[in-house]
Amino acid sequence: MNIEGEIVISIQSAIENIYGNSNLPEVKIEKTNADFVGDYTFVVFPFVRFSKKSPEITASEIGEELISINAKIASFNVVKGFLNLSLNPSVWSEYHQNNWLLPKTVLPQKESTVMVEYSSPNTNKPLHLGHIRNNLLGYSIAQILDAAGNNVIKANLINDRGIHICKSMLAWQRFGDNETPEIANLKGDHLVGKYYVVFENKLKEQTEQEISDAFEGKFFAINEKNQIKYNDLFQKLQITQDEKQSGKIKDDIKDLVRNQSELMQSCQEMLRKWENGDADVLELWNKMNNWVYAGFENTYKRLGVCFDKYYYESKTYTLGKKLVQEGLEKGVFYQKEDGSIWVDLTPNGLDHKLLLRSDGTSVYMTQDMGTAELKYSDFKINKSIYVVGNEQDYHFNVLFLIMQKLDRPYALGMYHASYGMVDLPSGKMKSREGTVVDADDLLNEMYETAKLKTIELGKTEGLSHDELDTLYHNLSLAALKFFILKVDPKKRMLFNPEDSIDFQGDTGPFIIYTYARIQSILKQAKPVDSPISHLPLHVSEIGVIKQLYAYPSILNAAADEYNPAAICQYCLDLAKAYNRLYNDVVILKEENAELKNMRLQLAQHTSTVLKSALELLGISTVDRM
């Protein structure tokens, strides 16, 4: 039983002993606020009905009884109805003695299989800063859940089909002149991304005048349906006074013009050929996708993330179509006159959602339905976690509701680990316009900055070329990962490259430096496993042990909330606590051999837990810097 559990039982016994009532409400304790003296606080207000006395007197009586029945409680103080309990320092000494040799904190195993899906890139562009946040969050959440005792499967769903893929393919086919990654001296994902931007630029050239004319009422649609839609939009544009609504209408008009352009019509035709198995289209698709996969793997390796299972939308959308047909036959979905298939979610407070187009082609929802089915078929997972930005909140609300309506056994275990988007000081990133922070460029920049900072600080003496390369690499990733992960996932974050490479303050490199400092101590003297009898603990030593003791509860909370930011804060708190200890007490020059050994044990204990916590963030340590 942990310390908190023992205290709760003691409080229950104390109340029963004093007031003679065993039918008590749940007893809860919490850590004492830093502004007050104590380790744990018990709020007595719900229990004054048993004492029939004031909260202050009730708290004092319970505190006196606790000291008499539990030797671990050294003292107490009362602040109104709050009973603050201070533990005997031997409690912390005993905890440290029992745990300092453990290789890492191990929590009870849970019989649960969890799949964490993250990354999910499109094969029409390279990874960028937004993908970096996604990958780092997904990998860290998977690591945390694994450490908390779950059987975790890291999955990557590759978005390798759809109109956006065809844009890159068509642009390369028309304007690429058989360019390859080798000829262009570009990573494959960068080359394909280049042609996605080429397509958008060509489309803009082709439609710019037509869009301008359409805003003035001059538009000739290729069919009656589009003409009616345009006439309705243009009429609304003439009468609206709302600037935001006017902008939305203009965007709809722009899409009408773009979609009936020769380029977009050719793209749609390419998608239809792909779904019909056209040999030439499939050959081009395979060639360009293979270029992209090679590029992705290179970036993943540099970023330090990995996957246990890959899924491809090109292989799951057909399964999704089968589910759509199943839902149609069961009356869960309905079909319109044009042949398209929909689901009515208005009784659930949503709207009507398209599941299959009139031409039989699938949409994103169709693909995600098929992937969800395949995941469960492969692994019988208890929980399926989707690490996807909050721009897709509505999409996942719809997906989960659809799977519930289809009575899938896994539907209630589907969870969207939503996170905020990443902005630049200049605004939102846009892949279509090429205004993104490229992942590979960012990793290169971080490496060079780590190198310059390390040289400036004179931390390179005595290190070989390979050791320096590892140091620069680990420091750069520690800086980047900690900067990204320390922000609560639900919050939108501003990425400023200058801030991200600041190696001072609450940063990854600061924690890495603390770890290296401990390794330097342990290299000079090793602790031995010997019992320590009633050694007095310095307040900073108690502070470190309290942090070490808190690790399992912090880990469990981070797992429950899918929140790596909690682990980041813990790493900072532990590193700061140890640095206070380092400045407050003598370690290597301590003359008392028993006290020196205890402090070396504490260094080892801190080192083990700090490394374990950093691993949950995907951050590698260094022994020298």
Please provide the DSSP assignment of 135-187 as one string.
HHHHHHHHHHHHHTT-EEEEEEEEB--SHHHHHHHHHHHHH-TT--HHHHT--
**What residues does CATH 3.30.1360.70 cover in the chain?**
3-87
Look at residue 454 and tell me whether its pLDDT is greater than 90.
Answer: no
pLDDT number for residue 431 = 45
Rounded to the nearest 10 degrees, how much is the dihedral formed by the CA atoms of 28, 30, 36, 37?
Answer: 80
Longest Cα–Cα distance of the chain, Å, equals 93
More confident residue, 241 or 616: 616
Q: How confident is the model at residue 607 (pLDDT cuts 50, 70, 90)?
A: very high
C-alpha–C-alpha distance, residues 217 and 555, integer Å: 61
pLDDT number for residue 494 = 84
C-alpha–C-alpha distance, residues 409 and 403, integer Å: 9
Instruction: Read off the pLDDT of residues 222-254 as tens digits, 9 standing for 90 and up.
Output: 888 889 999 999 999 999 888 889 999 999 999
501 touches 451 (CB < 8 A): no
Instruction: Read off the pLDDT of residues 167-218 as tens digits, 9 standing for 90 and up.
Output: 999 999 999 999 999 999 999 999 999 999 999 999 999 999 999 999 999 9
C-alpha–C-alpha distance, residues 605 and 104, integer Å: 9
Look at residue 503 and tell me whether its pLDDT is greater than 90.
Answer: no
Rg of the Cα atoms in the chain: 30
Instruction: Read off the pLDDT of residues 270-310 as tens digits, 9 standing for 90 and up.
Output: 998 998 899 999 999 999 999 999 999 999 999 999 999 99
Phi then psi dihedrals of residue 82, to 5 deg: -110, 120
| Strand, helix or coil for residue 59 | helix
Look at residue 110 and tell me whether its pLDDT is greater than 90.
Answer: no
pLDDT number for residue 66 = 97
pLDDT number for residue 423 = 79
CATH fold, domain 3-87, is Gyrase A; domain 2 (3.30.1360)
pLDDT number for residue 1 = 67
Average the pLDDT over 587-603 and give the result.
Answer: 95
More confident residue, 436 or 440: 440
pLDDT number for residue 429 = 45
pLDDT number for residue 530 = 81
C-alpha–C-alpha distance, residues 523 and 525, integer Å: 6
Plot region of 261 (φ>0 → left; ψ -120 to 50 → alpha; else → beta): beta
pLDDT number for residue 625 = 76
Task: Residue count of the chain, please give it.
Answer: 625
Q: How confident is the model at residue 500 (pLDDT cuts 50, 70, 90)?
A: low
pLDDT number for residue 533 = 66
**What residues does CATH 1.10.730.10 cover in the chain?**
439-616
pLDDT number for residue 42 = 97
| Highest CATH level, class, for 114-428 | alpha beta
Instruction: Average the pLDDT over each of 271-285, 342-356, 523-537, 593-607 and give the range with the smallest value.
Output: 523-537
**What residues does CATH 3.40.50.620 cover in the chain?**
114-428
Q: Work out the mean pLDDT of the chain and round it to a whole number.
A: 92
User: By C-alpha distance, which of 419, 426, 425 is closest to 496?
Assistant: 425
Instruction: Read off the pLDDT of residues 534-592 as tens digits, 9 standing for 90 and up.
Output: 788 999 999 999 999 999 999 999 999 999 999 999 999 999 999 999 999 999 999 99
C-alpha–C-alpha distance, residues 280 and 250, integer Å: 37
C-alpha–C-alpha distance, residues 265 and 270, integer Å: 9
C-alpha–C-alpha distance, residues 587 and 585, integer Å: 6
C-alpha–C-alpha distance, residues 403 and 327, integer Å: 10
How much of the chain exceeds pLDDT 70, in percent? Answer: 95
The count of other CB atoms within 10 Å of the CB of residue 349 is 8
C-alpha–C-alpha distance, residues 36 and 428, integer Å: 44
pLDDT number for residue 471 = 92
pLDDT number for residue 435 = 57
Rounded to the nearest 10 degrees, how much is the dihedral formed by the CA atoms of 315, 317, 322, 328?
Answer: 180
Sign, CA dihedral 60-62-67-72, equals negative
Look at residue 264 and tell me whether its pLDDT is greater than 80.
Answer: yes
pLDDT number for residue 624 = 84
pLDDT number for residue 23 = 82
Query: Domain 439-616 carries which CATH code?
Result: 1.10.730.10
C-alpha–C-alpha distance, residues 108 and 1, integer Å: 12
Q: How confident is the model at residue 107 (pLDDT cuts 50, 70, 90)?
A: low
Look at residue 499 and tell me whether its pLDDT is greater than 50.
Answer: yes
How much of the chain exceeds pLDDT 90, in percent? Answer: 80
Average the pLDDT over 110-126 and give the result.
Answer: 92
